Amino acid sequence: MFQTAELGQKVSKNEFKQRELILRESLLELQRALREDGSFPVMIDFGGVRGGGKGTTTNLLNKWMDASYIETHAYGTPSDEERERPYWWRFWRDLPPRGHIGINLSGRYSRPLLDYVYGNSDLETYLHQLEQIRAFETALADDGALILKFWMHVRAEVQKKRLEALENDPLNRWRVSPEDWTHYEMYDRFIEAAEIAVSRTNTGDAPWEIVEGADYHYRSLRVGELLQDALQRHLRKVHIQRKYLDELHSEAKARDEGHESNGGSVQSLTILDALDLSLKIPKKAYRRQVAQLQARLNQLHMEAAHRNLSVLLVFEGPDAAGKSGALRRIIEALDARWYKVHPFSAPTDEENAHHYLWRFWRCIPRRGRVTLFDRSWYGRVLVERIEGFANDMEWRRSYAEINNFEETLVDHGIVLLKFWIHISKEEQLARFKAREETPYKRWKLTEEDWRNRARWEDYSVAAHRMIQATDKQSAPWVLVEGNDKYHARVKVLDAICQALERATID
Amino acid sequence: MFQTAELGQKVSKNEFKQRELILRESLLELQRALREDGSFPVMIDFGGVRGGGKGTTTNLLNKWMDASYIETHAYGTPSDEERERPYWWRFWRDLPPRGHIGINLSGRYSRPLLDYVYGNSDLETYLHQLEQIRAFETALADDGALILKFWMHVRAEVQKKRLEALENDPLNRWRVSPEDWTHYEMYDRFIEAAEIAVSRTNTGDAPWEIVEGADYHYRSLRVGELLQDALQRHLRKVHIQRKYLDELHSEAKARDEGHESNGGSVQSLTILDALDLSLKIPKKAYRRQVAQLQARLNQLHMEAAHRNLSVLLVFEGPDAAGKSGALRRIIEALDARWYKVHPFSAPTDEENAHHYLWRFWRCIPRRGRVTLFDRSWYGRVLVERIEGFANDMEWRRSYAEINNFEETLVDHGIVLLKFWIHISKEEQLARFKAREETPYKRWKLTEEDWRNRARWEDYSVAAHRMIQATDKQSAPWVLVEGNDKYHARVKVLDAICQALERATID
C-alpha cells in the first residue's frame, strides 16, 4: 500500500512556481464556486507519520485559498470539556458549515490509531472504532459533504534524516520532542495500523489518498491538485444531483398529495391509538405523588451526578399535549446549576448550514448533568418528513443515523429517555380553544399549531414508524397518556426515577 | 419497538378478498415493470419468531405474482459445500438476477441471531456480524438492488396458542418440533436479539418493516402493500436516477477525453515505473530453480490441503506479460483434482445480470483447494474503469467493496496472493509482433489487445491506484518484473511457497 508512495517523486522549484500559480488561481475560483453553491462543506483530513508535511501543507492550503472560509483544527489531548462528552463531540462541534472548508490535523483517526499502536486497544476494538468512523463519514457524505483524507507518507529513513536535521539546527531543535523519537522507533507498528485504517475506511464517499511526502514541491502540488480535481467533480455532481432530486421529490409529492405515505393503506391502527387516554389521577393523589417523586428524583439525581452519569430527556408529542408542564415538574426537583432545557423549533441559518444532528450535538452535556430537550432530533422524521423539509431518502435513512447517534450517547454512559406525551384530537381542540380564550396563554397558540393539527393522521403514522424504528431497551420511548395532565406528569417523573434507579444500582 | 406490532390489527375475510384482488393486480403489473426495467433485483427477507407467518406469506407472494420470476430460498443447516466456504458464499450464490425477486427465509440474519440467542457468541461478535450484514446490503443496494426486510412479530401468548393448536390437530402435529418449544421458552431472548439486529441494520437502503403477524389477513395485505409501495417508489427512482447518471457520466467523459482522470496531473511516476525490468535469470539456473520450487510447492500444497487451507491466486498485468506461462508452471506442481483455473474476460449476460462480484463468488473453492484467477474482480478498477463500463462512482467505491470481499476470504482462512506481472511497453510490442508471426500463437492476439495497448498510460495510473488502495499484508500484491519470463516465473513460484510456509507454520 505505502510502497506506492516511496517512488522518489520530485518536482523542481522552477516547475513548482509555474504550476503553483495556475493551481492557486483554480483553487480560489473553486472556493468561490463552493461558497456560491453553498450546499455542502469540504472536510479535509491529514494523517501520516511525523515529517510527511501535514502541517506545512495545511499552511499552504490556507495561504493559497481565502483563509476566512477555512477552519483548521488540530486535536491534541482532549480538554476537560471534551473528555466529559462522547469522543465524537469535538468533531461534530468543529464541523465546517456548508460552503466552507474544514481541515483536521490529528483528527478522528488519531486516537484510535495511537491506542492501537501503543497496545492500549486490541485489534477488535480498533476495527470497531474504524467502523464508527466509517458511520460518521457516511452520515456526513450522505448529507452532501465532500470528504478527502490524505495520508502523508515518508519512509523510515527519510523520517529519521528529517528529525536529525531539525535537531542539528539550533533554531529548529525545539520542534523535535522525545515522543517523535519514540514514534520513529515504532515506525513499523504505525504503518501496520495505518494500513488497517486506510483499507477499512477507503470508501467511495470518503476516499484516502496516499501522498508521497518526502519532497515539499511534489506533495504540495499533489494535494492541491487532488483537492482541485475532487472539488470540480463534486460541484458538478451536486449540480446535476439537485436537478434529479428536485424531479424525484416533486413527483413523489404529487403522488402523495392527500395520501399518507407510510406505504400501503392497510395499517389502520397506530401505537398511539392503543393508548388508554382515559387514565386519570385525582388532584389530591397527584399532589402527594408528585411531591414524593420529586423528592426521589432529587436524591437520585445527586447520586447520578456523583457517579458522573448524565441524563438526557427528550419530549415529543402533539402541540398542547402538556410537554412544558411535565418539564416544569422535573425542573422543580433539580438545582438550576445542574440542568439545562433546550427548546427546539425551526433551525436557524447557522444550524441549517450543518448536518441536522449538529445542533443537537452542541447540547450534549458534560458529566453529571440533566438535559431536557423540548422537541429534538426526532423532528427529522416528524415535522421535516411531513412538511417535506427532508426528502424521502433523507428521512428514511435518518432512523439509522439517529440510532447510531443515541448508541454513542448510551455507550458514553448517558441515561437516555424519550417521552411521547399524547392527547386525543378532541382534547387538543379543547386546549387550543382554552388558549385562545385565556389572554396570558394566547401567545402559546400559533398558526403552525393549527397547520400541524390538520395533518394529525400523518403525524400519527410518522410517530408510529418512528417508535417502531427507534425504540430500544437502551434508549426507550415512554408513551404517556396525556389527556389527564396529572397522570402524565406522574408517569413521566416515575419513569425517570425508575431509569435512574436502574442506572445507579451497583 | 415490537409493541408497535401488538395492536391486534385485523382485517375481515370479506375486506381481505376485495383488497387482495386489487393488490394482486397491482403487484403483477409492478412485477412486469420490474422485468421490463431489468436494471435491479428485489431482495425480500423474512425474519421473526415461529408463528408470525413467514412461510405462508412467502407462499402467498409466490401465488399472487408470477412465480417463474421469484426465487425462494430457505436456509437450514449449511451443507458440506457451504460449510467449507465463507458464510457469505451461499447468499451470494443465491442472489436473484436483475428483474427478478428473491425471497429468503431464515436468511443472512438467522445464524448470527441464533448464535447470540443460544449464547454461542457474545455481544461484540454479534455486532460485528451485523456490521458485515450491513456492508453486504450496502454493496448490493449501491448496485441498485431493492432490499426489503420484514420482521413478522407475534406476542409470546399468541405463539404459544398457535403451537398448542397445531399439536392438538392430528394432521398438523408434525409441524411442531421440540425446537419450537425450546425457542418459545427463549422468547424474551429472541426479542432482545431481534431488537439489536433491527436497530443496527435498519438503514435507508435496506429498511426493516415490523409486521404484526397474528392475523393472516392483516399481515398478508400489509406485506403485499409495503412491497407494492416500495417497488413503485424504486422503479420511479431508478428511472430518474438513470437520467441523472447518464448526464453525469457523459459530462465527465467529455471532460476527461484524452486526459487521464486520476486527479491532478502532478503524479508523473507510477509504482510500475519503479520496477527493475532488467532483472534476469539464465536458462540453466531457471530450470534448476523451477524444479526445486515446484517440488517445494507440491509439498507445501499437500500440507496446506491437510490443514484445510485454500489458496487463491490472482493474476493481473498487461496483455502478453506472461500470465499463462506463470500459471502453467504452478499447475505443473499440482494434482488436477486439487486446483482449478478460472479465466475471466467480458462478463456473460447472466453475469451482467448480477453484482460484479457475483461471478467471482461463484468460484470460491472448497477447503484445501488451489484456485487460480486469470484476471479477476480487479477488472472493475482496470478495464471497466478505463472503458467506462463502470462509472466514476462505481469504480471509486469498489476499492472498499473489494477490500471487504478479500477480508471475508482471509478471515475464512484462505491464503490470498495477487500478482501483477509487468512488462515494458516495448517488450509488449515485441511480443505482439512475435505472436503475429507465429501461426500457432496468432489466435492469442486480438483487436482488444491493441486497443488496450493504446491506453497503456491510463492502465498504469489505474494499476497504481489499485495497488495503493488494495495492497494489504493479509492480501498482498506481488509486483513481478516480467520482461524476463524466467525471472517472472521463479518470483511467482517463490512468493507462493513463502506465503504457504508462513501459513502452515504452527
In tens, the pLDDT along B102-117 reads: 999 989 999 999 999 9
Q: What is the rounded CA–CA span in Å between residue A52 and residue A73?
A: 18
Contact B264 A203 (CB under 8 A): no
Give the gap in angstroms from C-alpha A480 to the nearest C-alpha of chain B. 14
pLDDT of residue B177: 86
Listed in sequence order, the residues at least 6 apart from B234 whose beta carbon sits closer than 8 Å to its beta carbon are B40, B146
Distance, in Å, from the CA atom of A247 to the CA atom of A241, rounded to the nearest integer, reads 10
Give per-residue burial for B308-332: e unless 16+ CB within 10 Å, then b: ebbbbbbbbbbbbbbbeebbebbbe
**In this complex, do B252 and A233 lie within 8 Å of one another by their Cβ atoms?**
yes
Q: Which of these, A373, A400, A372, A396, lies nearest to A384 by C-alpha position?
A: A396
Q: C-alpha cell of B35? A: 422485468
Distance to chain B for A336, nearest Cα, Å:
34
Chain A nearest C-alpha distance from B170 (Å):
35
% of chain A surpassing 90 pLDDT: 72
pLDDT at A177: 86
Closest-CA residue of chain A to B251: A236
Q: Does A398 touch chain B (CB under 8 A)?
A: yes
A396–chain B Cβ distance below 8 A for any pair:
yes
Window from A256-260, B123-127, B247-251 with minimum mean pLDDT:
A256-260
User: Has residue A262 got a pLDDT over 50?
Assistant: no
Please name the helix (run of DSSP H) or strand (run of DSSP E) that holds residue A436, with its range, or none.
Answer: helix A425-437
Write out residues 165-184 of B within 8 Å (CB-CB) of A: none
Q: How far, in whole angstroms, is CA B329 from its chain's centroid?
A: 30
Distance (Å, whole) CA B463 – CA B380 = 11
The percent of residues in chain B predicted with pLDDT above 70, rounded, is 97
The single-letter DSSP state of residue A96 is P
- What is the ipTM for the molecules in this complex? 0.86
CB A49 within 8 A of CB A157: no
Segment holding B138, helix H or strand E: helix B123-142
pLDDT for A255 equals 65
Question: Is A229 within 8 Å of chain B by CB?
Answer: yes
The whole-angstrom separation of Cα B250 and Cα B254 is 6
Residue B263, chain A, CB below 8 Å: the answer is: yes
pLDDT value of residue A265: 60
Note the pLDDT of residue B260. Answer: 44
Question: Is residue A260 predicted with pLDDT exceeding 50?
Answer: no
**Element (DSSP H or E) covering residue A419:** strand A415-422
B449 falls in which pLDDT band (50, 70, 90)? confident
**Test the A interface: residue of B199, B236, B407 with most A CBs within 10 Å:** B199
Closest CA to B226 of B61, B66, B13: B61
Nearest-CA distance from B474 to chain A in Å? Answer: 10
Which of A204, A209, A274 has the CB atom closest to B393's CB atom?
A204
Residue with the larger pLDDT of the pair A337 and B91: B91
Beta pairing, strands A477-481 & A415-422: parallel
| Residue written as grid cell 401567545 | A443
> Are B400 and A203 a contacting pair at CB < 8 A?
yes
Residue whose C-alpha is closest to residue A241's, from B237, B232, B233, B399: B237
B391 part of contact set with chain A, CB < 8 Å: no
Q: How far apart are CA A357 and CA A409, in angstroms?
A: 13
Closest CA to B461 of B191, B327, B335, B273: B273
**Scanning every residue of chain B, which has its alpha carbon at the shortest distance from the alpha carbon of A11?**
B266
Confidence category of residue B447, pLDDT binned at 50, 70, 90: confident
Specify the pLDDT at position A261. Answer: 43
pTM here is 0.88
Residue in chain A closest to B237 (alpha carbons) equals A248
Please tell me if residue A308 touches chain B, with a CB cutoff of 8 Å. Answer: no
Predicted pLDDT at A326 = 96
Cα(B412)–Cα(A86) distance, rounded to whole angstroms? Answer: 35
Q: Which of B5, B8, B268 sits opposite A9 (nearest CB)?
A: B268
pLDDT interval class at A273 (50, 70, 90): very high
Measured in angstroms, the CA of B380 and the nearest CA of chain A are apart by: 14
Query: By the CB < 8 Å criterion, does A472 face chain B?
Result: yes
By Cβ distance, the residue of A8, A236, A264 closest to B226 is: A264
Instruction: List, for residues B299-351, the tens digit of each pLDDT value.
Output: 999 999 899 899 999 999 999 999 999 999 999 999 888 899 999 988 998 89
User: Is A276 part of the contact surface with chain B (CB cutoff 8 Å)?
Assistant: no
Residues 359-388 of A with CB under 8 A from B: none
State the nearest Cα–Cα gap between A415 and chain B, in angstroms.
Answer: 18
pLDDT band for position B256 (50/70/90)?
Answer: low
Min Cα separation A59/chain B (Å): 20
DSSP state of A472: B
Q: Please count the helices (runs of H) and the strands (runs of E) in chain B.
A: 20, 10
A24 close to B (CB below 8 A): no
Amino acid A92 reads W
pLDDT score at A258:
43
pLDDT the model gives residue B266: 60
To test the contact with chain A by mutation, choose from B2, B4, B151 the residue with the greatest count of A C-beta atoms within 10 A, namely B4
- How much is the pLDDT for A501? 94
pLDDT tops 70 at residue A259: no
pLDDT at A506 (0 to 100): 64
Q: Choose among A210, A266, A472: nearest Cβ to B195.
A: A472
Q: How many residues does chain A have?
A: 506
* Partner A contacted by B273 (CB < 8 A): yes
| Residue B71 sits at the chain A interface (C-beta within 8 Å) | no
* Cβ within 8 Å, pair A471-B1: yes
pLDDT tens for each residue of B193-243: 999 999 999 999 999 999 999 999 999 999 999 999 999 999 998 988 888
What gap in Å lies between CA B50 and CA B223, rounded to an integer?
17
Residues 6 or more apart from B65 whose CB is under 8 A from it? B27, B28, B31, B101
Mean pLDDT across B7-23 = 93
Q: What is the pLDDT of residues A459-470, one digit of tens each?
A: 999 999 999 999
Average pLDDT of span A425-447:
86
- Residue whose C-alpha is closest to residue A104's, from A78, A136, A135, A72: A72
Query: Which pLDDT tens digit goes with each residue over B27-66?
Result: 999 999 999 999 999 999 999 888 889 999 999 999 999 9
What's the mean pLDDT when you consider all of chain B? 91
Nearest to A211 by CA among A152, A157, A159: A152
Mean pLDDT value across chain A: 91
pLDDT at residue A77 in the model: 84
Of the partner residues B266, B269, B471, the one whose CB lies closest to the CB of residue A225: B266
Read off the pLDDT of residues A220-246 as tens digits, 9 standing for 90 and up.
999 999 999 999 999 999 998 888 888
Q: Who's near A481: CB < 8 A, 6+ residues apart?
A: A275, A276, A277, A279, A422, A487, A488, A491
How many CB pairs below 8 A link A and B? 174
pLDDT of the residue at A172: 83
Minimum-distance CB partner of B11 among A247, A266, A270: A266
Distance from the Cα of A295 to chain B's closest Cα (Å) equals 32
Residue numbers in A near B274 (CB within 8 A): 7
User: A301-305: long-range contacts (C-beta < 8 A, 24 or more apart)?
Assistant: A301/A333, A301/A334, A301/A338, A301/A370, A301/A500, A303/A500, A303/A504, A304/A368, A304/A415, A304/A500, A304/A503, A304/A504, A305/A338, A305/A368, A305/A369
Tell me if B204 and A467 make a contact (CB, 8 A cut-off): no
Among A266, A467, A473, A480, the strongest candidate for a mutation testing the B interface, having the largest count of B CBs within 10 A, is A266
Nearest CA-CA partner of A118 in A45, A179, A199? A179
Q: Which residues of B touch A208 (CB under 8 A)?
A: 469
Average pLDDT of span B253-263? 54
Residues B243, A244: C-beta atoms closer than 8 Å: yes
Taking residues B77-95, what's their average pLDDT? 89
Tell me if chain A has a CB within 8 Å of the CB of B244. yes
More confidently predicted of A19 and B260:
A19
Between chains, do B264 and A11 touch, taking CB under 8 Å as contact? no
B189 to chain A, any CB pair closer than 8 A? The answer is no
CA neighbor of B98 nearest in space, from B34, B41, B32: B41
Render pLDDT for A42-80 as a digit per residue (tens, 0 to 9). 999 999 888 889 999 999 999 999 998 999 999 888 888
For residue B94, pLDDT over 60 is answered with yes
Nearest by CB to A264, which of B229, B247, B252? B229
B254 interfaces chain A, CB cutoff of 8 Å: no
